[in-house]
Amino acid sequence: MNVTREKTENCQAYLTIELEPAEVEKALETSYHRLVNKTNVPGFRKGKTPRAVLERYLGKDSLLDEALNTLVPEAYANAIKEQEIEAIAQPSIEITQTNPLVFKAIVPMRPTVELGEFRNIRVTPEPVTVTEDDINAVIEQLRHQQAAWELVERTAESGDMVILDIESSIDGEPFFNREGAQFKLVPEAVFPAPGFSGQLVGAAVDEEREFQIELNEDYPREELRGKTASFKVKIKEIKQEILPELTDEFAQAVNQEYQDLNALREQVTVNLRQGAEEKARADLEEKVIKAVAEVTQVDFPPILVESEIDRMINQQLQRWQMTDKLEEYLRIINKTEEELRDELHPLAKERVTNSLILGEVAETEKVEASDTEVDAEIDNLMKNVTENTEEFSKFLGTPESREAIRRSLVTRKTVQLLVDIATDSSKEA
């Protein structure tokens, strides 16, 4: 066997492996004995068919294909051992010729991370503020949630709720047809088509309207972009929104725990501040990790990104409760698998990069999570479990789950370490 290491780039070794004719012949003979004992050839007892006859009966390349199934993996294993290559995943293999037998292997290798001077990074946290406008905006949303709707005898206005029958088509095919559909007339509405609500403003009860709407380039369904939808509608009811007054009774209607309007405003303020603090913390962590990435050299094989994309797609399928139904999911989002993977590629690459960087920082700084911390995290997770608690507790207690929790804790502690370093104004960079 002759092994040539053509090059190494992106943490991948490119090998060309050529096998001696004697090695191939030995594998062919082994395959012959394996196949002849399980193949019935007319005119011959099982196991007694000559090799030339068996090859003609099964096909010219059948023996070679059978031999390659064991010959190539063995040759590959010997090649990476000879080249002292540590592979982290299955290789990409291409057979380039069969006489002599030559194949190429692209071998994914361990990533490399060269940390920069991350201890010199300084990031200033953004101040967290909650304004009166923010509070009033939330309370206004609560007013709309508690609003009543009453029938009116006038033409429809923006903000009204209308009940109507809808018939529509695109290129003669049914598009969106409903009886007794309910729509709130707001200018920003894009369903069933942008501008649909505007076509109903000024309409009266029992009035019929016909109109057309061109679906622009931003329309969610790509196959309908640029086409024209024809609508015919009949208004059945018009209702106007009656907002509640800002009283103590309104606060109690939102939640009986609020004694008065001041209590409601105080809780809204607390919720807004907590949300703002969480967002500010997440933004700060993102800035710090990005800053560390900018001074760090990371190299890894593309297969890690592809694996992360697979994981992200599986997460989406789980959220949609469509596990193992990728084709159906792709049909719903109107994308090919290639388009979806291309869309996810930048984020997947960023996640792999950040994960490798955090792993290297954790190793360099000796960040660890003790068994006590893992136990505490499991207890914390169990607080949110209300059903099948015993089964979930057993699941979290398995070695695999504990190790996953330990890795998660180490990652969180590493991120916090980097944030502490980057926001420590007492030390000069």
pLDDT tens digits for the chain (429 residues)? 899 999 999 999 999 999 999 988 888 888 888 888 888 888 888 888 888 888 788 876 888 888 888 899 999 999 999 999 999 999 999 999 988 899 999 999 999 999 999 999 999 999 999 999 999 999 999 999 999 999 999 999 999 999 999 999 999 999 999 999 999 999 888 889 999 999 999 999 999 999 999 998 878 777 888 899 999 999 999 999 999 999 999 999 999 889 899 999 999 999 999 999 999 999 999 999 999 999 999 999 999 999 999 999 999 999 888 888 888 888 888 789 999 999 999 999 999 999 999 999 999 999 999 999 999 999 999 988 888 888 888 999 899 999 999 999 999 999 999 999 999 866 654
Tens digits of residue pLDDT in 189-214: 888 999 999 999 999 999 999 999 99
User: Given this model, what pLDDT does residue 428 score?
Assistant: 57
User: Given this model, what pLDDT does residue 19 score?
Assistant: 93
Three-state secondary structure readout of the chain: CEEEEEEEECCEEEEEEECCHHHHHHHHHHHHHHHHCCCCCCCCCCCCCCHHHHHHHHCCCHHHHHHHHHHHHHHHHHHHHHCCCCECCCCEEEEEEECCEEEEEEEEECCEEECCCHHHCCCCCCCCCCCHHHHHHHHHHHHHHCCEEEECCCCCCCCCEEEEEEEEEECCEECCCEEEEEEECCCCCCCCCCCCHHHHCCCCCCCEEEEEEECCCCCCCHHHCCCEEEEEEEEEEEEEEECCCCCHHHHHHHCCCCCCHHHHHHHHHHHHHHHHHHHHHHHHHHHHHHHHHHCCEEECCHHHHHHHHHHHHHHHHHHCCCCCCHHHHHHHHCCCHHHHHHHHHHHHHHHHHHHHHHHHHHHHCCCCCCHHHHHHHHHHHHCCCCCCHHHHHHHHCCHHHHHHHHHHHHHHHHHHHHHHHHCCCCCCC
Q: Could you give all domains of the chain from N- to C-terminal order, each with its CATH number?
A: 2-110 (3.30.70.1050), 148-242 (3.10.50.40), 284-422 (1.10.3120.10)
User: Given this model, what pLDDT does residue 32 score?
Assistant: 85
User: Given this model, what pLDDT does residue 422 score?
Assistant: 94
User: Given this model, what pLDDT does residue 91 score?
Assistant: 94
Amino acid in the structure at residue 112? T
Predicted TM-score (pTM) of the model is 0.75
Tens digits of residue pLDDT in 368-410: 999 999 999 999 999 888 888 888 889 998 999 999 999 999 9
User: Given this model, what pLDDT does residue 372 score?
Assistant: 95
User: Given this model, what pLDDT does residue 348 score?
Assistant: 97
Tokens of 169: 């088509």
